[in-house]
């Protein structure tokens, strides 16, 4: 028996999803030939597919110790590092794989998609374009480039590429998003309808369609254009379960709880007890503050689908709301083993520690010194701050074209720009981003160092923005308390605020930190409240960890408004 025969047997077992046999045959190959690094690669992929991430990582590192320049092993290494939250190491592995084998498509696809998930479409476009030089008209690469160009708001190039790609649900979704960004709503609607035929694109297409109807209407109590569209899709497609589930979620986002739960009941009557229905019922109930019923539904869904982090997030919320802070803490810590940088899980851990009265551990996470305010100096080409802010306000207000707040966001009583302002062509907006360098670098330098702390362990002197948008709050407008799950450092920058905001005793319009968006009782039996507040002022920048709960005290009724330009930053 030679090692090659064992490797063939291991490959065959892996392809048949017989992972224990694949691992056993690969280990047998290593006993015959300890230098057979491909055996370690098989052990790694089989371990990964069984959920043994630690074993998968150790095995692929063993392979690379034997063959450090094996392009396939480097690609496998990247594929394991990404789910473990080690993006920088994954990028290095993929890039080395491509340096060794420039025409190897798998690391190109994986690296391009990783950059897209990291909201870095410029880098993603570069990767996909380089790969297309080796594989012209490769469909996955072309679609990747299409999404990168769309996300970078290079709409003309994206539209040209669309004509070269065979139509599919993916391209229809992209076409709709390009059209809506260019305010071509009828074209967008037709494209989204075509994208509904494929499950991976049906959710964003459905959301985009409802969002268009919702934001095109004035925000009033009789606001029902979006709800009508949901009911139409359900009645016209009675056997398509996703419309019930997504529809219930969207109705809940609209504050129409009874209609959402009615749709859940219809789904259950038609499709039976399934985890997706239990999950969406839990989400609706929790959003409505029905904690006990929400906990029961989330627990039921989690038992049907153990380890599902989307379900676990609702379970954790409900556990906090029902006084089961110890369960929430356990879930949050377990989830961070798989989503190390997800800011929601850090927020959930901190909230559970606070509810349990573990003050030292809580305060290590919720150190209020991490909240810092800067009065931003105007860029040098503007005579005064007033001139700079006036021009910035003008540019931003031209982009506030919708009539209502977007669904699924923290905003209530106002509007939000729909495209990523990082790629806005207006000079004054780009000047604003340049002016951020000094305060952000100061913030990072002052952090301190601690490899065990979720904020400090990611510390690097370089950073990049991953998103920027503008919010225009009207009278009685506010932000629901929330976190930014994909961030590291988050912000509020105030372009314009009512004149008396800083001096108001009721702190209307102020940003508040520490209060979760649902009631959680502390050791004293009282709901956890805000712990720190910062007064807005024109030109003021507030920086804070993305995992800190933050929201806005509602503005007073009337014509006064508040204009902000927030962004998120991550290490670069």
What are the pLDDT digits (tens) for 296-320? 999 999 999 999 999 999 999 999 9
What pLDDT score does 213 carry?
Answer: 85
Candidates 186, 188, 192; CA nearest to 205 is 192
Q: Which residues pair with 467 in a beta bridge?
A: 568
Q: Does 360 fall in a domain?
A: no
The total of structural domains in the chain comes to 1
Condensed to tens digits (0 to 9), the pLDDT of residues 386-438 reads 999 999 999 999 999 888 888 888 878 888 998 999 999 999 999 999 999 99
Residue 191 within a domain: no
Residue listed under structure tokens 């190897």: 104
Q: How many helices (H) and strands (E) does the chain have?
A: 25, 11
Phi, psi of 561 (to 5 degrees): -145, 170
- Give the whole-angstrom CA distance, residue 451 versus residue 428: 38
Cα–Cα distance, 563 to 470 (Å, whole number): 7
499 domain residue, yes or no: yes
Q: How many CB atoms lie within 10 A of CB 360?
A: 7
- Report DSSP letters for 466-521, one per residue: EEE--EEEEEEEEE-SB--TT-SEEEEEEEE--TTGGG-TT-TT-EEES--SS--B
DSSP annotation of 457 reads G
Examine the pLDDT at 1 and tell me if it is beyond 60: no
Residue 222 has pLDDT above 60, yes or no: no
Q: Which domain holds residue 548?
A: 369-571
Q: Decide if 391 is inside a domain.
A: yes
Residue 451, in any domain of the structure: yes
pTM given for the model: 0.90
* Statement: residue 221 has pLDDT above 50: no
Q: For residues 565 and 454, give the distance between their C-alpha atoms in angstroms, rounded to a whole number.
A: 25
Residue 27 within a domain? no
Q: Is the pLDDT of residue 500 over 90?
A: no
* Cα gap 426→434, rounded to integer Å: 13
Residue 340 covered by a domain: no
Q: Residue 470 maps to which CATH number?
A: 2.60.120.620
For β-strands 562-564 and 411-416, DSSP reports them as unpaired
Question: What is the secondary structure of 376-433 as a DSSP string?
Answer: PPPPTTSSSHHHHHHHHHHHHHTT---SSPPTTSSEEEEEE-SS-GGG---HHHHHHH
Q: Which residue has the tokens 């035929």?
A: 197
Q: Does residue 477 lie in a domain region?
A: yes
CA–CA dist 185, 556 (Å, integer): 34
Distance between CA 118 and CA 87 in Å, rounded? 9
């Amino acid at each position: 028996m030679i090692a090659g025969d064992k490797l063939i047997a291991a490959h065959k077992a892996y392809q048949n999803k017989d992972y224990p046999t694949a691992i056993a045959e690969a280990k047998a190959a290593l006993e015959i030939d300890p230098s057979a690094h491909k055996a370690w690669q098989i052990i790694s992929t089989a371990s990964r597919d069984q959920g043994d991430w630690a074993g998968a990582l150790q095995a692929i590192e063993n392979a690379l110790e034997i063959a450090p320049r094996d392009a396939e092993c480097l690609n496998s290494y990247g594929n394991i590092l990404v789910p473990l939250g080690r993006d920088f190491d994954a990028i290095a592995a993929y890039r080395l794989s491509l340096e060794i084998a420039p025409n190897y498509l798998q690391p190109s696809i994986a690296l391009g998609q990783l950059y897209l998930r990291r909201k870095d479409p410029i880098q993603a476009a570069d990767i996909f374009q380089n790969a297309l030089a080796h594989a012209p008209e490769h469909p996955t690469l072309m679609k990747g480039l299409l999404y990168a160009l769309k996300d970078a708001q290079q709409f003309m190039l994206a539209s040209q590429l669309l004509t070269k790609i065979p139509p599919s649900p993916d391209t229809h979704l992209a076409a709709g998003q390009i059209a809506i960004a260019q305010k071509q709503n009828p074209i967008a609607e037709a494209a989204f309808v075509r994208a509904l035929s494929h499950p991976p694109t049906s959710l964003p297409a459905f959301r985009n369609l409802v969002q268009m109807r919702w934001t095109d209407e004035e925000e009033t109590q009789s606001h029902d254009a979006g709800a009508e569209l949901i009911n139409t899709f359900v009645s016209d497609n009675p056997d398509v379960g996703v419309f019930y589930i997504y529809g219930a979620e969207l109705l809940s986002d609209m504050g129409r709880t009874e209609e959402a739960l009615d749709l859940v009941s219809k789904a259950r009557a038609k499709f039976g007890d399934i985890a997706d229905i239990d999950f969406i019922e839990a989400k609706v109930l929790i959003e409505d503050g029905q904690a006990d019923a929400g906990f029961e539904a989330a627990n039921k869904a989690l038992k049907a689908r153990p380890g599902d982090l989307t379900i676990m997030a609702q379970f954790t919320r409900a556990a906090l709301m029902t006084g089961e802070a110890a369960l929430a803490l356990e879930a949050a810590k377990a989830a961070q083993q798989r989503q190390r940088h997800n800011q929601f899980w850090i927020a959930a851990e901190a909230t559970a520690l606070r509810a349990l009265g573990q003050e030292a551990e809580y305060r290590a996470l919720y150190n209020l010194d991490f909240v810092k305010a800067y009065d931003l100096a105007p860029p040098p080409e503007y005579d005064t701050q007033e001139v700079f802010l006036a021009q910035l306000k003008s540019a931003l207000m031209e982009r506030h074209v919708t009539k209502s707040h977007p669904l699924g966001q923290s905003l209530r009583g106002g509007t939000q720009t729909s495209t990523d302002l990082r790629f806005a062509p207006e000079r004054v907006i780009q000047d604003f981003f340049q002016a951020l360098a000094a305060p952000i670098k100061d913030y990072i330098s002052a952090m301190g160092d601690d490899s065990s702390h979720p904020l400090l362990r990611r510390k690097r002197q370089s950073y990049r923005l991953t998103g920027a948008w503008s919010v225009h709050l009207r009278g009685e407008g506010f932000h629901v308390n929330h976190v930014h799950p994909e961030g590291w450092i988050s912000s509020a920058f105030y372009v314009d605020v009512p004149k008396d905001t800083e001096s108001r005793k009721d702190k209307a319009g102020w940003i508040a930190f520490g209060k979760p968006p649902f009631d959680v009782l502390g050791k004293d039996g009282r709901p956890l409240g805000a712990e720190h507040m910062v007064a807005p002022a024109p030109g003021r920048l507030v920086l804070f960890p993305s995992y800190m709960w933050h929201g806005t005290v509602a503005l007073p009724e009337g014509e006064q408004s508040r204009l902000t330009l927030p962004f998120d930053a991550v290490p670069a």
